[in-house]
């Protein structure tokens, strides 16, 4: 395992988050949550000098930062007619500014999964993670139930930001800045920051307890996890739930831990000698590239073999597979946590209303009755 | 770090072998196999401009690095592959996965049940057993739909003089050798002198499961039965996610599974009533 987090835990105080962001922007290109034209909050790279104000430490953005590490689509290698050449991504140092605890837990999960993937790691090495503690539960979030939040977990970020108090009179805040790694410490070199002490850490813990207490009762999720692992969810329930799965891949695309991909080849067109890749024409490829892109285990053809044999032919099998991968104890030895970080994005996006809350509620209701 | 980029191989020999199946010989171009390859492992073949898919070694690389694969023309990628010939260049990644338990099967009575193109992944095992003086303890039951579907004719001819080879046809066999392999199996296993210590099976999944269950019914332990599971794959190294069998990946813990391990994996997920699928030899 790559040791990224040499725990150092230097603590500072900061009045204006903008100062930190502008300091980091000198060395990193800034990626943060930003509203698009429709008001949707998305993880977006900032260009030029303009740095938008921070959104999101109370509201989860629709997208996670996943695509900045595990690209939605990227070239793996090229064929020049004779040999294959690896195409690693060309990356600039980036700071992911203000990543919530759930998404940081997901990045830590993917760090393990993609530990030996050169494309992922090339991006990852160049990313500074600035985490931010959530100050209240978000609409669909249940991070407390899956040990992923609401405060940034240890060993998941380089810098951690935690707002200790807000002065309503002048709108100013006081932030605790924890430099949790060598990389984090190096990133704030040159800044003049006051040292924080144990009193400030205690305040952070107190605020954490307050936020935790504000979460509604999500015990149906814990119950359902238990039923899933007892294998006591009847096939019939999966059949019923799967009727509502459109195979749209909204859940897997937005899920910050989903990592399945497929590959496809693109032939480099040569104007003087067009090459068809239709079934009838003999292969005359001289140059091509192989691309990988996100795939979804909910797609009917995900496991379908050339012979037509499909081990997960039924939608019910595929829906069950998705939840097995998120909540099975079988994955704990490898990842030390569940594949679900409790962000609830699947619930937000699923057009068939079989996101995590709906499914876990159904399981809890049916299995306990 | 993992290497996802293929190395280059060249087709050096091709001949037809059974209906819609072809025997390919590949030669490494500019590289030597750096890992010892165990029998029953697989490799990923890349057709530039088309895609990549997993295939089995019908023979593992010789001293020159050449190796063979018996491939059936069954999908988009293999259709393109069949349009290629000697000298054409392809991509190669491998070896991947876990092979047959070769160390366990020496000195044992081995029954191999292969269906259709499922003979390819066990071919190197049969050669290994014959070449190492274990041929007397090997029985091969080879099942196909009809005689046109039989593959590896040269190999079967070679083997027939040293191992016990039984061929069954679903259609067109004589009265003793027609029908499904499971029907023949009970006949075979009821003879005490041929009772196997270990069973290797490869073929359509439904056939393998039927064979394994028949063997269990006839008194074998699930831990004495091994099977090679086919799955769609896009990497071979446990990343793309396609080849899952519960919490295992066929490209890592498989493609060879011991039946009791496979059953344990299956038991972790819900057993759905499968739509009735008639298995097809591939």
Chain A residues near residue B244 by CB distance under 8 angstroms: 297, 303, 321, 325
Q: Which residue has better confidence, A169 or B91?
A: B91
Q: Which residues contact A307 (CB under 8 A, 6 or more apart)?
A: B74, B75, B204, B280, B282
Q: Is A329:A229 a contact under the CB 8 Å cutoff?
A: yes
Least confident segment among A4-8, A34-38, A350-354, B139-143: A4-8
Mean pLDDT of the A308-330 span: 96
Average pLDDT over chain A reads: 90
Cα separation values, A291 from A170, A262, A264, A270, A288, Å: 52, 8, 5, 19, 10
Q: Is B52:B76 a contact under the CB 8 Å cutoff?
A: no
State residue A18's pLDDT score.
87
Q: Please state, as a whole number, how many other Cβ atoms lie within 10 Å of the Cβ of residue A55.
A: 15
Query: What DSSP element (H or E) covers A97?
Result: strand A94-100
End-to-end CA distance of chain A: 44
Mean pLDDT of the A138-148 span: 94
Least confident segment among B133-137, B153-157, B233-237: B133-137
Q: Is A46:A34 a contact under the CB 8 Å cutoff?
A: yes
Query: What DSSP element (H or E) covers A178?
Result: strand A172-179
| pLDDT tens digit sequence for B161-214 | 999 999 999 988 787 788 888 888 887 887 666 689 999 999 999 999 999 999
Domain residue spans of chain A: 10-65+91-214, 219-256+307-368
Helices B181-189 and B205-217, interaxial angle, to 10°? Answer: 20
Mean pLDDT of the A321-337 span: 97
Residues A203-229 as b or e (16 or more Cβ within 10 Å = b) = bbeebbeebeeebeebebbebbbebbb
Angle at B222 between CA B219 and CA B224, to 5 degrees: 85
Classify residue B150 as exposed, middle or buried by CB count within 10 Å of its CB (0-12, 13-18, 19+). Answer: buried
Contact A321 B244 (CB under 8 A): yes
Sheet containing strand A288-294, strands side by side: A84-86, A73-79, A288-294, A261-267
| pLDDT tens digit sequence for A71-125 | 999 999 999 999 999 999 999 999 999 999 999 999 999 999 999 999 999 999 9
Mean pLDDT of the B155-166 span: 95
**B7-96 and B102-266 share one fold:** no
The fourth-level CATH superfamily of domain B7-96 is Translation factors (2.40.30.10)
| pLDDT tens digit sequence for B56-96 | 999 999 999 999 999 999 999 999 999 999 999 999 999 99
| B248, B272, B280: best to mutate for the A interface, most A CBs within 10 A | B272
Contact B1 A118 (CB under 8 A): yes
Mean pLDDT of the A262-283 span: 66
Rounded CA separation A367/B207 (Å): 35
Mean pLDDT of the B238-244 span: 98
DSSP string for chain B: ----SPEEEEEEEEEE-STTEEEEEEEESS----SPPPTT-EEEEEETTTEEEEEE-SB---TTS-EEEEEE--SHHHHHHTT--TT-EEEEEEEESB---HHHHTTS-EEEEEEGGGGHHHHHHHHHHHHTT-GGGEEEEEEESSGGG---HHHHHHHHTTSEEEEEESSS--GGGBS-HHHHHHHHHTSGGG--SEEEEESSHHHHHHHHHHHHHTT--GGGEEEE-----S-SSS-S-TTEETTEETTTT-BEEEHHHHHHHHTTS----PPP------
Percent of chain A with pLDDT over 90: 78
| pLDDT tens digit sequence for A59-83 | 789 999 999 999 999 999 999 999 9
DSSP A26: T
Percent of chain B with pLDDT over 90: 80
Residue among B19, B219, B23 nearest B111 (CA): B219
State residue A2's pLDDT score.
44
Q: Using DSSP, state whether A194 is helix, strand or coil.
A: strand
Q: Which residues contact B184 (CB under 8 A, 6 or more apart)?
A: B141, B143, B166, B168, B177
| pLDDT tens digit sequence for A234-250 | 999 999 999 999 999 99
State residue A275's pLDDT score.
53
Please state the pTM of the whole predicted model.
0.93
Rounded CA separation B27/B34 (Å): 14
**CB-hemisphere CA count at 13 Å for B48?**
29
State residue A283's pLDDT score.
53
Structure tokens at B40: 């029953």
Mean pLDDT of the A126-155 span: 94
| pLDDT tens digit sequence for A193-217 | 999 989 999 999 999 999 999 999 9
Cα separation values, B39 from A249, B21, B100, Å: 38, 21, 6
Q: Is A32:A107 a contact under the CB 8 Å cutoff?
A: no
Is the minimum CB–CB distance between B79 and chain A shorter than 8 Å? yes
| B3, B46, B48: best to mutate for the A interface, most A CBs within 10 A | B48
Contact B268 A231 (CB under 8 A): yes
| pLDDT tens digit sequence for A290-303 | 999 999 999 999 99
Percent of chain B with pLDDT over 70: 95
Domain residue spans of chain B: 7-96, 102-266
Rounded CA separation A132/A104 (Å): 9
Asked whether residue A27 carries a pLDDT value surpassing 70, the answer given is yes
| B47, B49, B279: best to mutate for the A interface, most A CBs within 10 A | B49
Rounded CA separation A240/A220 (Å): 19
Q: Which of residues 160-189 of A touch B (CB under 8 A)?
A: none
Contact A76 B5 (CB under 8 A): yes
State residue A57's pLDDT score.
60
State residue A6's pLDDT score.
47
Mean pLDDT of the A140-150 span: 95
pLDDT band at A49 (very low <50, low <70, confident <90, very high): low
Asked whether residue B157 carries a pLDDT value surpassing 80, the answer given is yes
Q: If you measure CA to CA, which chain A residue comes closest to B269?
A: A231
CATH number for B102-266 (one of 3.40.50.11540, 1.20.140.10, 1.10.150.120, 3.40.50.80): it is: 3.40.50.80
> Chain B: nearest CA to A224, how far in angstroms?
15
Structure tokens at A171: 């709108």
CA quadruple A8, A11, A14, A17: dihedral sign? positive
Is the minimum CB–CB distance between A236 and chain B shorter than 8 Å? no
> Chain A: nearest CA to B191, how far in angstroms?
34
State residue B195's pLDDT score.
81
State residue B175's pLDDT score.
77
| pLDDT tens digit sequence for B31-53 | 998 778 999 999 999 999 999 99
Percent of chain A with pLDDT over 70: 88
Cα separation values, A366 from A19, A228, A233, B272, Å: 52, 12, 8, 18
């Amino acid at each position: 395992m790559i040791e990224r987090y040499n725990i150092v835990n230097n603590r500072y105080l900061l009045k204006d988050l903008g100062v930190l962001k502008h300091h980091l922007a000198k060395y990193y290109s800034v990626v943060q949550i930003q509203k698009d034209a429709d008001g949707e909050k998305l993880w977006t790279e900032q260009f030029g000098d303009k740095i938008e104000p921070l959104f999101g430490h109370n509201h989860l953005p629709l997208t996670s930062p996943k695509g900045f590490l595990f690209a939605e689509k990227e070239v793996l290698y090229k064929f020049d007619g004779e040999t294959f050449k690896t195409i690693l991504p060309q990356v600039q140092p980036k700071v992911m500014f203000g990543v919530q605890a759930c998404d940081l837990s997901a990045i830590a999960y993917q760090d393990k999964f993609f530990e030996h993937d050169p494309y992922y790691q090339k991006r990852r090495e160049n990313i500074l993670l600035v985490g931010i503690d959530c100050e209240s539960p978000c609409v669909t979030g249940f991070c407390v139930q899956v040990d992923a939040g609401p405060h940034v977990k240890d060993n998941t970020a380089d810098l951690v930001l935690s707002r200790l108090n807000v002065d309503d009179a002048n709108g100013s805040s006081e932030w605790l800045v924890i430099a949790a790694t060598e990389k984090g410490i190096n990133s704030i070199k040159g800044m003049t920051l006051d040292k924080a002490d144990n009193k400030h850490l205690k305040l952070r813990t107190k605020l954490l307890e307050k936020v935790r207490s504000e979460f509604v009762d999500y015990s149906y999720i814990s119950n359902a996890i238990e039923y899933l692992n007892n294998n006591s969810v009847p096939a019939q329930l999966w059949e019923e739930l799967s009727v509502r799965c459109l195979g749209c891949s909204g859940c897997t695309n937005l899920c910050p831990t989903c990592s399945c991909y497929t590959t496809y080849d693109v032939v480099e067109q040569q104007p003087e000698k067009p090459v068809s890749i239709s079934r009838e024409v003999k292969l005359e490829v001289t140059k091509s590239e192989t691309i990988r892109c996100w795939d979804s285990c909910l797609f009917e053809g995900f496991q379908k073999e050339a012979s037509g044999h499909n081990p997960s032919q039924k939608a019910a099998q595929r829906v069950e597979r998705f939840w097995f991968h998120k909540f099975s104890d079988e994955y704990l030895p490898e990842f030390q946590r569940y594949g679900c970080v409790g962000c609830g994005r699947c619930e937000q996006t699923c057009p068939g209303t079989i996101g995590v809350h709906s499914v876990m509620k159904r399981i809890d209701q049916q299995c306990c009755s | 770090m993992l290497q996802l980029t293929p190395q280059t191989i060249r087709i050096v020999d091709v001949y037809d072998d059974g209906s819609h199946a072809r025997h390919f010989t590949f030669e490494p171009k500019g590289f030597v196999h750096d890992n010892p390859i165990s029998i029953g492992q697989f490799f990923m073949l890349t057709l530039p401009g088309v895609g990549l898919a997993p295939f089995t070694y019908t023979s593992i690389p010789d001293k020159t690095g050449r190796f063979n694969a018996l491939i059936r023309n069954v999908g988009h990628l293999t259709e393109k592959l069949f349009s290629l010939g000697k000298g054409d260049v392809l991509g190669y990644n491998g070896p991947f996965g876990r092979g047959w338990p070769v160390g366990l099967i020496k000195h044992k009575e081995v029954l191999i049940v292969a269906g259709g193109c499922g003979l390819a992944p066990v071919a190197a095992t049969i050669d290994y057993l014959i070449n190492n003086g274990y041929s007397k303890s090997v029985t091969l039951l080879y099942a196909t739909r009809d005689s046109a579907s039989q593959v590896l004719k040269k190999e079967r001819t070679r083997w027939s003089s040293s191992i016990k080879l039984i061929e069954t046809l679903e259609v067109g066999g004589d009265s003793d050798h027609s029908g499904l392999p499971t029907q023949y199996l009970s006949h075979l296993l009821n003879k005490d002198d041929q009772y196997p210590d270990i069973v290797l099976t490869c073929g359509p999944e439904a056939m393998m499961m039927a064979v394994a269950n028949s063997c269990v019914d006839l008194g074998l332990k699930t831990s004495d039965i091994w099977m090679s599971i086919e799955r769609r794959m896009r990497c071979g190294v446990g990343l793309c996610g396609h080849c899952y069998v519960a919490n295992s990946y066929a490209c890592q813990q498989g493609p060879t599974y011991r039946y009791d391990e496979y059953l344990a994996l299956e038991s972790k997920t819900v057993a759905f009533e499968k739509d009735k699928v008639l298995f097809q030899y591939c």
